[in-house]
Structure 1
């Protein structure tokens, strides 16, 4: 199995697929456009995506504009390229102001990568979409495409290593019931896109052999109920080369993607022996939003369970799972004179591991086996002092590129082995005072902390021999100094305050 790569091959594949998905069809839209106008709209979309096209011929035959020998190519800034060939592309006037679009059922694609020490040098694929149709309607300025593809498959025809040698690797991806729509509006150098899609199922099968190492392996993943939507304004490649300029010129995108039940299966054998991994999840997704004011990116996965076995695992099988994992970051995108919103979220909820793992350090089951949880949810305000999206931007390391104005700790939670630490609070920062806290803007505000079960945890760690008595005594003394008893057994609380140029815990000044 030699199908790894840091170079964004999949990004290129998806980018080209975006252009091709306009070749995946549908049922009507009310409109008044001609075949020639729709063809011009397609070419504008390719240009907006930084792609180049060559055309063998484009001739009118009755009510149909027949385009043949279409080749779409793209070269990224690293030197990698892809090319898609469409032998036949027909735009047929349906007589009601709409245009039916059909194309070759199979489309060859080639990807080439910059020279590197490892990874493939080139890949050849075939995209098949029998029965796929598109209906275009609307106006010249705002053209809508509805597509419907019963089945779309992508087959790996050839992959070569960095030396140009063909690898023994096979791969197929199949999507069923792909439907959706794209509304494109053109204005000067801007293409506005409003799109959505649904896919009933997607399955990827990958297999390979390595004669040099006698290794072999398979990887399978299936996902159901895929949904996505994108809205945005896209500019020409010259402007997009400078993100700061693009944002100030109106570039924006907001995308959401979600999926339902997922399963994966990995089975690899090499000289050390077999490695197997299997997993399921109930769903997940991601969001991406970018415009002049903010960048927002987030991912999530729910109801996940995995199992792993192999020669390096000291027991037959490792199993673990979690109820939810999520990551989200929101931050300002451009230089500003006023504070802007930001947020950060990281969570791992109800993590469990197999008893074999617990048995490595707690064979007597002294510690609680309850699921572990970590949550950090913050938000606040701040501003950039420079355009960090500008390629010319370089941080000096001596002057901060931004200012922090406020920080709200919406939730902090760590729960494991029978103990729990929870905190909430909020701080504001004086950026004119960098002396009181040695270069950091002076904070003011408070944080409330509640700790439960820690005394019992210390007792258990002593009993297990993992914490010496002197360390346990030191930990208990620290708790006694900076906390006070709570309302429940084995609970302590602390009020952390920044005020009057100092730092206080339960009224006791620490700085």
Structure 2
């Protein structure tokens, strides 16, 4: 999980959190702190040989072992050198390549309830990596810089990647960052990270069918920041308890222009495609009360072609896509905030797609947009981080909805536009008036422009029969009234006094 990553699931972060008792950090203190923090989240660190030569502590064959939820990661660093620099800090260098092994459990299948795990051999390459560790009373720092960092698959279940004609690796260039850890039992950690370019390459040949797939993706100007509060070893072993005890985490990640391209071919099929984006963001935050998560991408273009696509090429683009989620996590007597945002702006598809259902171009081919932004308050009856409590819910809701605000609704497609907004509160003591739903009070306002025109076009195209169109218009007549402007309908939907009203007329 993100929270565990922030706390230090890698050797670098572990070194950061090494507490010191004096103004100058020593190589032995860095090594001891690395081992102690690793132990708090299930990682064991041992060195086959340890020697001190002058200002340098030299570690040989440093073995790392980490197990979590069935996945086991092991690795051996041939050599680590920790050198006292004379200014109270320690310079850390290590072997340019670190062999690692990962064992991943597989899900049971029909006829194979206990499948063998998948075993991967990996190589972590970081030539020229230099780290500087420093610290004071209950405070430690780490800055690192590397020309490049690469992790590559070298074997799968004992078969070398070369024999499999497999290439699977991720490379970061011009990597730099820093970490700061403060405190002892309760520890505050913050870090930042940058990389000029990130590239992922995946290519392999099917040994049985002879098919070949190639995939390459890249992104530029990567930047990340994160911070959090760790509460002793609970941060690693019991996330729910740690969060209730005051643990927090938050982080953000941004990237600039990104591209992806792939091609595939076998004896009968072939396909290729590409995608690009101007950039994007990802944000996440977690505390004892809530989890928030969101991201967006800008100016995305996608192109696909192949034997399974019934036209020369498929093209799609959109100006922006975004998602936001805020949800409470723990049981509470008080209602807590929530939010859900889904946004897709200016979606365009190629004319070949339009021509499949509108060959005469009767529908306007304007870009489509969908925005649903809702927020409100809800009270949880169980802790969502407690798997046993969630399991006992069955089909029951985990809590009660107390208020819902439709902050924005917008749907634009084929020349028609629906917009709306409003808010409702709910009486959870009354679930009979509206058939099992807590009785609402409040108002939703809607406006539809171009709706009748769209219905006419769909009828003329033969996509909907005249009878269904008539039924749709009758339904609009019940809930809507003419607004200002041509082909404009408005509707005020109101819940009050245990009744449902449309434009002032009681319908229930």
Corresponding residue number in structure 1 for 2:317:
321
> Superposed, which structure 2 residues align to 1:247-326 within 5 Å?
247-326=243-322
Between 1:214-223 and 1:425-434, the stretch displaced more is: 425-434
Q: Say if 2:15 and 2:33, in contact at 8 Å, map to a contact too.
A: no
> Superposed, which structure 2 residues align to 1:37-436 within 5 Å?
37-77=29-69, 79-116=70-107, 121-160=118-157, 167-188=164-185, 190-234=186-230, 240-393=236-389, 394-397=391-394, 399-436=396-433
Q: CA deviation at 1:14?
A: 11
Partner SS, residue 392 of structure 1? helix
CA 1:20–1:32 in structure 2 vs 1: closer, same or farther (change >3 Å)?
closer
Partner SS, residue 28 of structure 2? helix
Aligned-partner Cα distance in 2 for 1:13–1:245: 17
Give the total of aligned pairs: 495
Q: CA deviation at 1:242?
A: 3.9
Partner SS, residue 432 of structure 1? coil
Q: Say if 2:7 and 2:230, in contact at 8 Å, map to a contact too.
A: no
Corresponding residue number in structure 2 for 1:438:
435
Aligned-partner Cα distance in 1 for 2:283–2:339: 14
CA 1:61–1:95 in structure 2 vs 1: closer, same or farther (change >3 Å)?
same
CA 1:263–1:399 in structure 2 vs 1: closer, same or farther (change >3 Å)?
closer
Between 1:220-229 and 1:37-46, the stretch displaced more is: 37-46
TM-score (norm 1): 0.91
Q: Say if 1:23 and 1:133, in contact at 8 Å, map to a contact too.
A: no
Q: Say if 1:23 and 1:101, in contact at 8 Å, map to a contact too.
A: no
TM-score (norm 2): 0.91
CA-based RMSD: 2.7
CA 1:405–1:11 in structure 2 vs 1: closer, same or farther (change >3 Å)?
closer
Q: Say if 1:243 and 1:390, in contact at 8 Å, map to a contact too.
A: no
- Structure 2 unaligned segments of length 5 or more: list them: 17-21, 110-114
Q: Deviations over 1:249-273 (max 9, x none)?
A: 2332111111110000111112331
Q: CA deviation at 1:167?
A: 3.3
CA 1:115–1:340 in structure 2 vs 1: closer, same or farther (change >3 Å)?
closer
Aligned-partner Cα distance in 2 for 1:156–1:215: 20
CA 1:360–1:416 in structure 2 vs 1: closer, same or farther (change >3 Å)?
same
Q: Deviations over 1:164-220 (max 9, x none)?
A: 9963311232211111101123422x4432111011101111110012011111100
Q: CA deviation at 1:333?
A: 1.3
Between 1:229-238 and 1:452-461, the stretch displaced more is: 229-238
Q: Deviations over 1:31-75 (max 9, x none)?
A: 621222222232233234432222213332211122221111111
Q: Say if 1:37 and 1:140, in contact at 8 Å, map to a contact too.
A: no
Q: CA deviation at 1:362?
A: 0.4
Q: Say if 2:369 and 2:412, in contact at 8 Å, map to a contact too.
A: yes
Aligned-partner Cα distance in 1 for 2:123–2:23: 33
Aligned-partner Cα distance in 1 for 2:183–2:305: 54
CA 1:368–1:23 in structure 2 vs 1: closer, same or farther (change >3 Å)?
farther
Q: Say if 2:4 and 2:236, in contact at 8 Å, map to a contact too.
A: no
Between 1:501-510 and 1:164-173, the stretch displaced more is: 164-173
Aligned-partner Cα distance in 2 for 1:20–1:171: 23
- Structure 1 unaligned segments of length 5 or more: list them: 1-7, 25-29
Partner SS, residue 143 of structure 1? strand
Q: Deviations over 1:420-452 (max 9, x none)?
A: 111100111112222222222211110100000
CA 1:114–1:167 in structure 2 vs 1: closer, same or farther (change >3 Å)?
farther
Aligned-partner Cα distance in 1 for 2:387–2:7: 23
Aligned-partner Cα distance in 2 for 1:12–1:329: 20
